[in-house]
Chain A
């Protein structure tokens, strides 16, 4: 995961921006809505942790956006 980030690959997201655009939603508020801890939201935001598919869909649902507009996958291909 960390290695992928350094090489510019892996999963990235725009959660921080989306929270800001949604009335400056806090990490805690988002965490409560998707059923994880604030630390997990923080880890996802900083690309240190890839969420499960279920959590990813829940995050997209909170922002009312399709999954690919919240998460992006960059490969070396």
Chain B
């Protein structure tokens, strides 16, 4: 099979749902990147400031809402009325598998945040250098990672067809 035929077959196999999931995945990854870069380049004073942190969180929320709304508007224009069609049994199963992995990551994140909150109260940390408001950062990272896992697992399972694992 030539590369052109492979590309054609790949495009044929790509559903609108996969495109939607890919866009959601990329938008979440971009938001994650913005958050990580803000944290990486922040000074110690900024990290300790609740005003600065609130600003970053607000920025993340605004980015999330704007990018999601824009992507859905674009997808609604290019969709072949697929956006209004309900999911079939297979797609619902894939969706549930995605939620399973997402929930596992969130659970680990919440437990780590609670443990860190307890350690903060005792002026200790699970990292080498103490970071102010660490439980909040752990929760946010867990949430974004869970969202990425939710979309990524659905894309992987939908493509490979191995949805029973």
- A residues with a Cβ closer than 8 A to B are 1-2, 35-40, 42-43, 46, 48-49, 52, 55
Contact = CB atoms under 8 A, between A and B. Distances in A.
Contacts of A35: 88
A35 B17 CA distance: 16
Contact of A37 (B15, B160, B162, B163): B15
Given A1-B162, A1-B164, A49 B90 contact: yes
B161 A46 contact: yes
A37 B164 contact: no
Given A37-B90, A42-B13, 12 more contacts: A1-B162, A35-B88, A37-B15, A37-B85, A37-B91, A39-B15, A39-B17, A39-B90, A39-B158, A40-B88, A40-B91, A55-B89
Interface in B148-165: 158, 160-164
A56 B17 CA distance: 23
17 contacts: A1-B161, A1-B163, A2-B161, A2-B162, A35-B88, A36-B88, A36-B89, A36-B90, A37-B90, A37-B91, A39-B17, A39-B18, A39-B90, A40-B91, A43-B161, A49-B163, A55-B89
